Amino acid sequence: MNKLPVVLLSLILTFFLLNNSFAQNDNANYIIVIHGGAGFMNEMMPESEKAVYYTALEEALNIGKTILENNGSSLDAVEKVVRFLEDHPGFNAGKGAVYTSEGKHELDASIMFGKDLSCGAVAGVTIIKNPISLARLVMEKTPHVLFAGTGADELGKKFGVELVENSYFDTEKAYQEYLRSKENVKGTVGCVALDKFGNISAATSTGGRTNKMPGRVGDSPLVNAGTYANNNTCGVSATGWGELFIRNTVAFNISALMEYKGYTLQQACDEMIRNRLPEGTGGVIAVDKNGNYYFSFNTKSMLRGVATSSGIFETKIWHDR
Ligand code: ASP
């Protein structure tokens, strides 16, 4: 029998396998991306104000990078990074959350672990200092996925998480937005990471939309809409007009386009954000299983950053800077 076809076939196979593994090696073995909300930030804003955001994003990235560098899990990285951004008054999450139409704060958050699709979320909490950590407790310590309102606040008490008065979330900037019934200027926060063990996690936290009706829940605490992570495809955290992200199941659809249609991360994100959503409605940050990352947004700005094991460390607000 002529062995030539077999030899040729194995050569071709070896070539592809090697090439593939080179491609893998080119990519980072850990990666973290963050966002601080999509919107319409004015490029003419004072340099000092820009510096506050860039510095916060850099500090957040460094928290996540240190965890991942030291063999930590992506789940710890995304939780700690989002906690930091919740504690920062410059963002619409935790301290700094926007006001409801009744002048109070109702906070939403979710977290997901791509290894086994486990996830946890809280919606409409009012006294939980760090909603993302309560979301993680929901995921790890209860048989459920989503707790809302007083039940979620009570669960926080039961787990002994740090509680605050609702007025703790007050900030002057969010109050001015509320008084003027203005669009959110401050942004929701989110983080997606791939660790050295190939596990992808995603987390999102928000105060919602300025002047929202009491009880309104957006996309951020909804796995599949505002947050998604799956080791077979990618992790996603969204920001923007929540109702549209819910209707279009944005975060899950990005993963589904990759899994079912073979889209690249970039194609999948752009399909949802640029082709399906109307202009000016939001964006996503995403990481795939091969260590690629991508930011897609159809607004003027999206506060964002990336850090990778291959040495990329970058923060940006507008499309080019
Ligand atoms: N997506 C958030 C919500 O609708 C708000 C935002 O990201 O700006 O609650």
Range 83-107 average pLDDT? 97
pLDDT for the residue 277: 98
Cβ(177) – ligand 1 distance below 6 Å: no
Helix-helix angle 74-87:47-69, to 10 degrees: 150
- How many C-beta atoms surround the C-beta of residue 234 within 10 A? 31
Q: Which residue owns the Cα nearest ligand 1 atom 9?
A: 208
What atom in ligand 1 is closest to the CA of residue 187?
8
Range 268-294 average pLDDT? 97
Tens-digit pLDDT profile for residues 96-136: 999 999 999 999 999 999 999 999 999 999 999 999 999 99
pLDDT-wise least confident of 12-16, 155-159, 173-177, 248-252: 12-16
CB 284 within 8 A of CB 291: no
Task: Classify residue 210 by its DSSP letter.
Answer: T
Residue 24 — pLDDT band, cuts 50, 70, 90?
Answer: very low
Q: Which residue owns the Cα nearest ligand 1 atom 6?
A: 240
pLDDT-wise least confident of 65-69, 175-179, 282-286: 175-179
pLDDT for the residue 283: 98
Range 156-177 average pLDDT? 96
Which residue is catalytic, options 188, 206, 299, 315?
A: 188
- How many C-beta atoms surround the C-beta of residue 213 within 10 A? 11
Strand runs labelled E in 23-176: 31-39, 107-113, 118-125, 146-148
Q: Calculate the alpha carbon distances from 177 to 94, 96, 107, 211, 263 in Å.
A: 16, 11, 17, 9, 39
- Which domains, from first to last, does the chain contain? 29-318 (3.60.20.30)
Q: Calculate the alpha carbon distances from 36 to 9, 112, 181 in Å.
A: 50, 18, 21
Instruction: Name which of 300, 237, 318, 196 is nearest 60 in CA terms.
Output: 237
Tens-digit pLDDT profile for residues 233-264: 999 999 999 999 999 999 999 999 999 999 99
CB 315 within 8 A of CB 304: yes
Using the Cα atoms of residue 135, residue 139, residue 144 and residue 145 in order, give the sign of their dihedral: positive
Cβ(219) – ligand 1 distance below 6 Å: yes
Cβ(210) – ligand 1 distance below 6 Å: no
Tens-digit pLDDT profile for residues 180-239: 877 777 799 999 999 999 999 999 999 999 999 999 999 999 999 999 999 999 999 999
Task: Give yes or no for residue 3 having a pLDDT over 80.
Answer: no
Cβ(301) – ligand 1 distance below 6 Å: no
Task: Give yes or no for residue 23 having a pLDDT over 50.
Answer: no
Catalytic residue status for 239: no
Residue 99 CA, ligand 1 centroid: distance in Å: 13
